[in-house]
Structures are given as structure tokens and as C-alpha cells.
Amino acid sequence: MILLAIIACEVGFWVAIIAGLLVRYVARKPRSGAALLIAAPVIDVVLLILVATDLIGGATASWHHGLAALYIGISVAYGHRMIAWADRAFAVRFRGASPRPRVTGWAYTRKCWIDVLRTLLAAVIAAGIILGLTLAVDAPARTEELQGFLPVLGLIVAIDLLWAVSYTLWPKKAPTPTPVRG
């Protein structure tokens, strides 16, 4: 049941963003579009309430509950950036804005390190939710699975850290222009 709630919230998140941007750019109603965009973080609150209600109501925690915590952490840490990315894509498509150039070299490496901080923030938020749920339920036998999700958070941060280190050692090169044949 919680897995379906996570899927519904993820779909709802993107529906709110796309609807908000369509209203902003296609219908040319920026205030109405902004109101729909505000629905995206509200969806995270709904998911947190569903997970807490499920566990406090007597359910035994599963990996789905840990996944919900991770989803909320990622949504909080990366949500603004995801919305900004979609907003730029809509501005390019519907307003003729210039697309941003691809980031390479040390600028890309810096972006990778900023992502490490965002991923760490997402993991800390998810861990906080897991620990908060564990304390609220106060039944170690029913929340044991949640505690097992904490190493997964560490693994996710470690992978992102390795990604940043790799681009620090070998910066992303700008694409070489292909010669025009004529």
C-alpha cells in the first residue's frame, strides 16, 4: 500500500509541476501556474502523513517506508532544482529562451560537489524521518526494517561522492566540434 502511495506521490509531484508550467507558459497565467507549483511540496507532506499513519496504526515497517523517507529527502533537497530545470525547458520551448550551454570542465566538477552536498542533505532528511518514525512508533520489532535502510542512505552518499571525486580527477571535457564536410 505504501509503495502505491510513493508512486502516486511521485506521479502527483510531476503532474503538479507540468500542470503549473503549462498554465504559466501556455495559458499565460503565471500566478495560477505558481499556485500549482506550490502543490509539489504539499505532496511530500501528504506522503509523510500516510507513512506515519500507517506505522503508528500498527503496520510493520518495510523497505517501502524507508523508500518513502528517501523520496521525501530527495524531493526536499533536489525539488527546487528539478522545478528550475523543468521551468527552463518550458521557457526554451514556449518562450523561445536560449538553452543553457552544457557545463564542462571545472564548472561541471563544482556542480558535482554541490550535488554531493544535496545528496548528503537528502540522506540526513531521510535518516531524520526514519529516526522520527522509529521514535513515534516506539516498537523496535516493527521498525527494525527502517533501521536497516540507514546503510542504504550511506551507500547513496558514497556513490555520489565517488562520482564527484572521479570528475575532480578527470574533469568533463567539452565536446570537440565535428568537422563540417562539404
pLDDT bin (cut points 50, 70, 90) of residue 71 is very high
Element (H, E) at 60: none
d(CA 14, CA 174): 31
Q: Are 119 and 156 in contact (CB under 8 A)?
A: yes
Residue 33, exposed/middle/buried by CB under 10 A (0-12, 13-18, 19+)? buried
Q: Are 23 and 29 in contact (CB under 8 A)?
A: yes
What pLDDT does 110 receive?
96
What pLDDT does 182 receive?
60
d(CA 12, CA 23): 16
For 160, residues 6+ apart whose C-beta sits below 8 A from its C-beta are 115, 116, 119
What pLDDT does 179 receive?
74
Q: Are 51 and 120 in contact (CB under 8 A)?
A: no
Q: pTM for this one?
A: 0.87
d(CA 18, CA 129): 28
Kindly report, residue by residue over 103-157, the tens digit of the pLDDT.
899 999 999 999 999 999 999 999 999 999 999 999 999 999 999 999 999 999 9
DSSP per-residue string spanning 62-91 = -HHHHHHHHHHHHHHHHHHHHHHHHHHHHH
Element (H, E) at 7: helix 2-25
Kindly report, residue by residue over 21-40, the tens digit of the pLDDT.
999 999 999 899 988 888 88
- Mean pLDDT computed over every residue of the chain: 92
Locate 130 and state its grid cell. 526514519
State yes or no: pLDDT of 77 exceeds 80: yes
State yes or no: pLDDT of 181 exceeds 70: yes
